[in-house]
Amino acid sequence: MRALTWAQVWGRRLNRHALLAPRPKTDLVEVVRTVGGIHAQMMSAAELSIGVRVAGVTREDVRAELWRHRRLVKTYGLRGTVHLFPADEAPLWAAALRAHPGAGEIRRLAQRGLDPTRLAALVAAIGAALDGRHLTREELGEEVTRRTGAWAMDAVTPSFGGQTPRWQNALGVAANAGLLCFGPAQGNKVTFTRADQWLGGWKEMDGATALQEVFRRYLSAYGPASTRDFAQWFGIQPHDAAALPRQLADELEEIEVEGWRAWLLEGESEESWPEAHEEIQLLPHFDCYAIGCHPRERLVPSDWRARGLAQGSIGHLPLVTIGGVVAGVWSLRRKGKRAEIRVETSHTLNARQRRDLEAVSARIVETTQAEVTLSYGAVDARPHA
């Protein structure tokens, strides 16, 4: 069994995530592919997640890949949240997500009045309503209700500031069937369209095969890792992931990292990995590195866990990492065309780290297209800010 150090593991993960050295702008889509998708519940955070990994990229470049070139797609993905994926891999992720809907999800839908018959009716109505069209959320709700009945509009789902209608619970299911993805916004309103039409085709895949491929991707980007780590990242029950190492036995290798055992793709343990030491990085809300890396007690020291970075909420705050490990929080406050980056770390930064932080801030300037100043001190870091 190959033995590795945590410095090697963090160095490998940082390298795979293009967080040691940014990739060129031409690799934008490939970076999204390598990390297994970018969390996009907040598009501003998604743009920053790409910006810290890709040199010279702006938010307009990300939007061009989504809406003009269509090499990226915005859709429902891991853990039921909105993600950006390479457009040519949308069927792969959808098939993997269909493989294990999970008993908890089935119960949740049932509690909201959606048995399999009603759910199928909503999905069919969504597909029919979006055929050849782009509709806002409100327009889609009206069309779905007209096709299914008033029950679709019943407010049954707890949400910020109230409850959302029953039909919206079918959005993720419709997306995984290739019948829905996000389209270009109309002002401040999101739109939806048919994924199979928007992307120029849809090739169905076997769910079990797709899940195996996604597990390979996860190990390549976040490994070494356990099946429990994968299950938490992907959003399925641990027992649904437990069989994957047996299914891929000839492709995997068990690795020991200072007493912790986990899986890695065979052959990757022989690669020359840089060791992580003082490298500093700013990660926005919900960055995939923070959400996907385990074990949490290694990623987040106890003093920062006390600041609200518990296992279930690590993505809710923007993080500073040093050597691949959480070492602080930061904030980005915008006022018109100006913005301030404020950084709080657990210890004083040395001269090299301050220079590196200035370089990271410069990439954020490029991405946000704002005039950014950098300051140090206590941060009132807020979830979803």
What does the DSSP assignment read for 290-308?
A: HHH---HHHHS-HHHHTTT
Model-wide pTM > 0.85: yes
Q: Can you tell me which residue has the tokens 């300037």?
A: 365
Q: Which of 80-94, 229-243, 362-376 has the lowest mean pLDDT?
A: 362-376
For 239, phi and psi rounded to 5 degrees? -70, -25
Alpha-carbon distance of 72 to 88, in angstroms, equals 8
For 349, phi and psi rounded to 5 degrees? -80, 145
Alpha-carbon distance of 309 to 81, in angstroms, equals 19
Q: Can you tell me which residue has the tokens 């030491």?
A: 277
For 379, phi and psi rounded to 5 degrees? -115, 130
pLDDT score recorded for residue 341:
92
pLDDT band at residue 313 using 50, 70 and 90 as cut-offs: low
CB 113 within 8 A of CB 166: yes
**Residue in 99, 294, 84, 96 with CA at minimum distance from that of residue 214:** 96
**Residue in 335, 321, 98, 132 with CA at minimum distance from that of residue 210:** 98
pLDDT score recorded for residue 302:
80
Q: Average pLDDT for residues 261-266, to the nearest whole number?
A: 95
CB 230 within 8 A of CB 79: no
For 246, counting Cβ atoms within 10 Å of its Cβ (0-12 exposed, 13-18 middle, 19+ buried), the class is exposed
Alpha-carbon distance of 137 to 79, in angstroms, equals 21
pLDDT digits 0-9 by tens, 269-309: 777 778 898 999 999 999 999 999 999 999 998 877 766 56
pLDDT score recorded for residue 194:
98
Alpha-carbon distance of 272 to 100, in angstroms, equals 36
pLDDT digits 0-9 by tens, 101-113: 665 677 777 778 8
Strands 155-159 and 135-136, by their bridges, are unpaired
Q: Can you tell me which residue has the tokens 């993720």?
A: 172
The structure tokens listed for 162 are: 């109230």
**Is residue 367 pLDDT above 60, yes or no?**
yes
pLDDT band at residue 319 using 50, 70 and 90 as cut-offs: very high
